[in-house]
Amino acid sequence: MSQAVRHLELPEQQLPLEFADYHESIKVTGFWIFLTTDLVLFACLFATFAVMRYDFANGPTPIHLFHMGPLILETALLLTSSFTCSLAIYQSRAQNKTGVLSWLILTILLGIGFVGTEVHEFISYVGLGATWHKSGFLSAFFTLVGTHGSHVTFGIFWALTLVVQLVKRGITPRTSRKLYTFALYWHFLDIVWVFIFSFVYLVSMTGGKMA
Amino acid sequence: MSQILARLFPPQTRRPDEVVIEIGIVLSMLFLVYMLTRLKKWGWLWREWLTSVDHKKIGIMYLVSALLMLFRGGVDALMIRSQLALPNNHLLPVGQYDELFTTHGTIMIFFMAMPFLFALFNVAIPLMIGARDVAFPRLNAISFWLFAAGAILFNISFVVGGSPNAGWTAYPPLTELRFNPGVGENYYLVSLLIAGIGTTITGINFMTTILRMRAPGMTLMRMPMFVWTVLVTGALIVFAFPPLTIALLLTLLDRLFGSSFFTLGHGGMPMQFVNLFWLFGHPEVYIVVLPAFGIFSEVVPVFSDKKLFGYPAMVGSVLAITLLSYVVWVHHFFTMGAGPSVNAFFGVSTMLIAIPTGVKIFNWVLTMWGGRIRFTVAMLWQLAFIPAFLVAGATGVLLATVPVDYQMHNSYFLIAHFHLALIGGTVFGVLSGMYYWWPKMFGFMLNERQGKWAFWIFVSGFFVTFVPQYMLGFEGMTRRMYTYPAGLGWGPLNMVSTIGAFVQGLGFLVLVYNVLWSMRYGERDLTGDPWNGRTLEWSLPSPAPSYNFAVIPAVTHRDEWWEMKQSGKARAYKVKSSAIRPIHMPKRSAMPFFLGVSFFVVGFGMVFSWWVITIIGALGVIASLLFSAFDYNDSEEIDPEDVRRSEASLGRLEI
Amino acid sequence: MADRLYPSHGTGAMNQVELVENEDSIEISSLAPHFAVHKFPWRQVFGYVASLVLTAMAFILVINHVLPVSALVSVVIALAVLQAAVQLGVFMHLRESRGMAWQILVLGLGGFIALCVVAGSIWIMMFKSGVA
Amino acid sequence: MPKRQSTRWPYRWIPLAVIVSSLLSGCGQHYTILHPAGPVGQTELNLLVLASIAMAIVIIPVWILLAVVLVRFRDNPRHKGTYIPKWQRSKFFEVMLFVVPLIIVAVIAVPTVQKTYALDTLPRQKDPLIIHVTSLDWKWMFQYPVQHIATVNYIKIPAGVPVLFKLTADSPMNTFWVPQLGGMEYTMPGEVLPLWLEANKPGVYMGRSGQFSGRGFVHMVFKVDAVPRTAFNQWVHQVKTTAPSMSVAKYHALAHFGYAGAESFSSYPAGTFPTTSHGFTLTGSSPMVMP
Ligand code: HEA
Ligand code: HEA
Ligand code: CUA
Ligand SMILES: [Cu+2]
**Predicted confidence (pLDDT) per residue in B546-559, tens digit:** 999 988 888 888 99
pLDDT at residue C4, rounded to an integer: 36
* Range A160-175 average pLDDT: 94
Q: Which residues pair with B373 in a beta bridge?
A: D74
Residue C12 sits in which domain range? 1-38
Which residue owns the Cα nearest ligand 1 atom 23?
B169
Packing angle between helix A173-195 and helix C69-86, nearest 10 degrees?
180
pLDDT at residue C1, rounded to an integer: 30
Q: What are phi and psi of B583, to 5 degrees?
A: -115, 130
Q: Is B315 on the interface with D (CB under 8 A)?
A: no
| pLDDT(A2) > 60 | no
Can you spell out the DSSP letters for B595-629? HHHHHHHHHHHHHHT-HHHHHHHHHHHHHHHHHHH
User: CB–CB of B183/B7 below 8 Å?
Assistant: yes
B490 and D30: CB-CB below 8 Å?
Answer: yes
CB atoms within 10 A of CB B487: 10
B108 lines ligand 2 (CB under 6 A): yes
pLDDT at residue C7, rounded to an integer: 34
In a domain, A197, yes or no: yes
- How far apart are alpha carbons A114 and A122 in whole angstroms? 12
Q: What residue ranges of chain D have pLDDT lower than 50?
A: 1-10, 282-291
pLDDT at residue C129, rounded to an integer: 66
Q: A6-7 and D174-178: which strand pairing?
A: unpaired
CB atoms within 10 A of CB B424: 27
| Of residues A143, A58, A200, D288, the one with CA closest to residue B262 | A143
| pLDDT(B262) > 70 | yes
- How far apart are alpha carbons D138 and D291 in whole angstroms? 11
Ligand 3 atom nearest to D34, measured from its CA: 1
Residue A179 sits in which domain range? 18-206
D117 and C130: CB-CB below 8 Å?
Answer: yes
In a domain, A13, yes or no: no
Residues whose CB falls within 8 Å of the CB of residue D20, separated by 6 or more in sequence, listed in order:
none
In a domain, A6, yes or no: no
Q: Which residues of B touch A134 (CB under 8 A)?
A: 260, 266
Q: Using the 8-state DSSP alphabet, how is residue B523 labeled?
A: P
Q: Which residue of C has its CA nearest to B637?
A: C6
User: CB–CB of B312/B363 below 8 Å?
Assistant: no
Residues of D with CB under 8 A from a CB of C: 117, 120-122, 164, 166, 191, 193-196, 277
Q: In terms of domains, do C84 and C111 share one?
A: no
B420 lines ligand 2 (CB under 6 A): no
B186 lines ligand 2 (CB under 6 A): no
For residue range D17-68, list pLDDT tens digits in order.
666 665 555 566 788 888 899 999 999 999 999 999 999 998 999 999 999 9
- How far apart are alpha carbons B38 and B21 in whole angstroms? 25
For residue B563, the Cα-to-chain-centroid distance in whole angstroms is 32
For residue range B440-473, list pLDDT tens digits in order.
999 999 999 999 999 999 999 999 999 999 999 9
| pLDDT(A168) > 70 | yes
The distance in angstroms from the start CA to the end CA of chain B is 71
| Of residues B224, B367, B360, B357, the one with CA closest to residue B309 | B367
| pLDDT(C131) > 50 | yes
| pLDDT(B94) > 80 | no
Can you spell out the DSSP letters for B5-72? HHHHS-S-PPPHHHHHHHHHHHHHHHHHHHHHHHTT-HHHIIIIIIT---HHHHHHHHHHHHHHHHHH
* Range C29-41 average pLDDT: 78
Q: Give the least confident one: A185-194, B394-403, B431-440, C93-102.
A: C93-102
Q: In terms of domains, do C103 and C87 share one?
A: no
Q: Using the 8-state DSSP alphabet, how is residue B528 labeled?
A: S
Strand ordering across the sheet containing D174-178: D154-158, D221-227, D203-209, D174-178, D182-187
Q: In terms of domains, do C22 and C51 share one?
A: no
Q: In terms of domains, do C112 and C130 share one?
A: yes
Output the CA torsion sign for B3, B4, B8, B9.
negative
pLDDT at residue B333, rounded to an integer: 95
pLDDT at residue D190, rounded to an integer: 81
- In chain A, what are the helix, strand and coil shares in percent, each to the nearest 5? 80, 0, 20
User: CB–CB of B63/B438 below 8 Å?
Assistant: no
pLDDT at residue C43, rounded to an integer: 86
State whether CATH 3.40.50.720 applies to domain D129-269: no
Q: Is B282 on the interface with C (CB under 8 A)?
A: no
User: CB–CB of B490/D44 below 8 Å?
Assistant: no
Instruction: Let me know if B612 is exposed, middle or buried by CB neighbors in 10 A (0-12, 13-18, 19+).
Output: exposed
Q: Using the 8-state DSSP alphabet, how is residue B305 labeled?
A: T
CB atoms within 10 A of CB B641: 10
Q: What is the 3-state secondary structure (H, E, C) of D139-182?
A: EEEEEECCCCEEEECEEEEECCCCEEEEEEECCCCEEEEECCCE
C131 and D194: CB-CB below 8 Å?
Answer: yes
Nearest CB among A7, A90, A198 relative to C58 is that of: A198
pLDDT at residue A60, rounded to an integer: 85
* Range A26-55 average pLDDT: 94
The mean pLDDT value of chain B amounts to 92
Instruction: Let me know if B613 is exposed, middle or buried by CB neighbors in 10 A (0-12, 13-18, 19+).
Output: middle
For residue range B24-71, list pLDDT tens digits in order.
878 888 888 888 888 888 888 898 899 999 999 999 999 999 999 999
pLDDT at residue D3, rounded to an integer: 41
Nearest CB among B133, B243, B271 relative to C125 is that of: B271
Q: Which amino acid does the sequence have at B182?
A: G
Q: Output B147 or D30, whichever has higher pLDDT.
A: B147
Q: What is the 3-state secondary structure (H, E, C) of B310-361?
A: CHHHHHHHHHHHHHHCCCCHHHHCHHHCCCHHHHHHHHHHHHHCHHHHHHHH
In a domain, A1, yes or no: no
pLDDT at residue A8, rounded to an integer: 45
C130 and D193: CB-CB below 8 Å?
Answer: no
Q: Which residues of C touch A190 (CB under 8 A)?
A: 51, 87, 91
For residue D65, the Cα-to-chain-centroid distance in whole angstroms is 35
Taking the CA of D49 as reference, the closest ligand is 3
CB atoms within 10 A of CB B359: 22
pLDDT at residue D211, rounded to an integer: 94
Percent of chain B with pLDDT over 70: 98
| pLDDT(B517) > 90 | yes
Question: Ligand 1 centroid vs B351 CA: distance in angstroms?
Answer: 9
Q: Give the least confident one: B300-314, B434-448, C93-107, D271-285.
A: D271-285
Q: What are phi and psi of D235, to 5 degrees?
A: -60, -45
* Range B418-442 average pLDDT: 96
Q: What is the number of domains present in chain C? A: 3
| Of residues B303, B298, B306, B311, the one with CA closest to residue D82 | B306
pLDDT at residue D2, rounded to an integer: 40
Collapsed DSSP state (helix, strand, coil) of residue D262:
coil
A37 and B246: CB-CB below 8 Å?
Answer: no
A79 and C91: CB-CB below 8 Å?
Answer: no
Q: D203-209 and D193-197: which strand pairing?
A: unpaired
Can you spell out the DSSP letters for B193-255? HHHHHHHHHHHHHHHHHHHH-PPTT--GGGS-HHHHHHHHHHHHHHHHHHHHHHHHHHHHHHH
Collapsed DSSP state (helix, strand, coil) of residue B506:
helix
pTM of the full structure: 0.93
pLDDT at residue B576, rounded to an integer: 81
| Of residues B453, B654, B481, B470, the one with CA closest to residue B571 | B654
Packing angle between helix C102-124 and helix A22-52, nearest 10 degrees?
10
Q: Which amino acid does the sequence have at D77?
A: P
Q: Give the least confident one: B1-10, B246-255, B627-636, D115-124.
A: B1-10
| pLDDT(A184) > 70 | yes
Instruction: Let me know if D64 is exposed, middle or buried by CB neighbors in 10 A (0-12, 13-18, 19+).
Output: exposed
User: CB–CB of D204/D179 below 8 Å?
Assistant: no
If pLDDT is split at 50, 70 and 90, which confidence band does A174 have?
very high
User: CB–CB of A100/A179 below 8 Å?
Assistant: yes
- How far apart are alpha carbons B102 and B473 in whole angstroms? 20
Domain of A77, CATH number, reads: 1.20.120.80
pLDDT at residue C24, rounded to an integer: 64
Question: Ligand 3 centroid vs B431 CA: distance in angstroms?
Answer: 41
Which residues are within 5 Å of ligand 4 (an ion), measured at CB? B 282
Collapsed DSSP state (helix, strand, coil) of residue D122:
coil
The residue to mutate among B21, B25, B78, having the most atoms of ligand 2 within 8 angstroms of its beta carbon, is B78
- How far apart are alpha carbons B302 and B305 in whole angstroms? 5
B490: preceding bond cis by omega (within 30 degrees)? no
| Of residues B618, B625, B626, B589, the one with CA closest to residue B601 | B618
Q: What is the number of domains present in chain A? A: 1
CA atoms within 13 A on the CB side of B25: 14
Q: Output A211 or B526, whichever has higher pLDDT.
A: B526
